[in-house]
Amino acid sequence: MSIPEPARRTQPNADSAAEDYLKTIYHHTEWQSDPVTPSVLASTMGVAPSSVTEMAKKLSAAGLVNYEPYKPLTLTVEGIARARGVIRRHRLIETWLVDEMGYDWHEVHDEAEVLEHSISERLLDAIDARLGHPRSDPHGDPIPSADGTVHSSPALLLSQAGVGTTGMIVRISDRDPSLLLSLAAAGIRPSTTVTVVSQEDDGTVVVRAGSGADSGTDATGALVPVTASGTSSIWISAAI
């Protein structure tokens, strides 16, 4: 299966640009605790540092971001609520595209980026109800509820798991479609149980997919090498 062309995006307006910043700041600390610096935010979003500074000042004036020159950026309570609203739209759209529209999980991120700023709350609520109010998207990311509640479980990066660790995959980053394709081909998705078999000098981690007490396969699952970049995109639950 080929990697799709990115969905076409219209020129962002001021509101959608602000929402993208809030979402990116929130996402940076969703799975780890270090706040995002302006330089990292600029690199992540592909914009100039001066653009980050300008937007940070605007968001700070609006009461959405805590901003001090040369210091990391954090969201205010209102900023967190706004960011979760955008993320809710994005992840419900991704889930809807996979469950109802025939998309595969590596195809939906860019489509959701386009649609998240234009979908109405009425349609979003209808999609949520149609899907049965899912708590996570196809990549394992938690979907905030309508009131902003987020249900998530403790997890660690695969790169941090020692040899012999067994856990269930709870989240795989959707930023690299080729990684999602290769993992799916190896039978690895959220809810797959894996055991770390070995760690190579180049950062590759070899896992046994489908192994563990809950899988019914004992130790007969396939051995799957995961590159260093891949191990930094996969989160697993605590040992089971």
CATH class of the domain comprising 1-151: mainly alpha
| Per-residue model confidence (pLDDT) at position 212 | 43
**pLDDT tens figures, 209-219:** 984 434 444 44
Q: Using the predicted structure, report yes or no on whether residue 7 has a pLDDT greater than 70.
A: no
**pLDDT tens figures, 151-169:** 988 899 999 999 999 999 9
CB 207 within 8 A of CB 158: yes
CA quadruple 153, 154, 159, 161: dihedral sign: negative
**pLDDT tens figures, 167-193:** 999 999 998 999 999 999 998 999 999
Place of tokens 């949520």: 128
Mean pLDDT of 64-73: 96
Percent of the chain with pLDDT over 90: 83
| Per-residue model confidence (pLDDT) at position 154 | 87
HSE, side-chain direction, 13 A CA sphere, residue 35: 14
Which residues of the chain form CATH 1.10.10.10? 1-151
The rounded distance, in Å, linking the Cα atoms of 220 and 202 is 26
First to last CA, the chain: 33
Q: Given pLDDT bands bounded at 50, 70 and 90, which one contains residue 143?
A: very high
Entry pTM? 0.86
| Per-residue model confidence (pLDDT) at position 181 | 94
What topology does CATH give the domain 155-237?
A: SH3 type barrels. (2.30.30)
| Per-residue model confidence (pLDDT) at position 13 | 53
Q: Using the predicted structure, report yes or no on whether residue 82 has a pLDDT greater than 80.
A: yes
Amino acid at 112: A
Which residues of the chain form CATH 2.30.30.90? 155-237
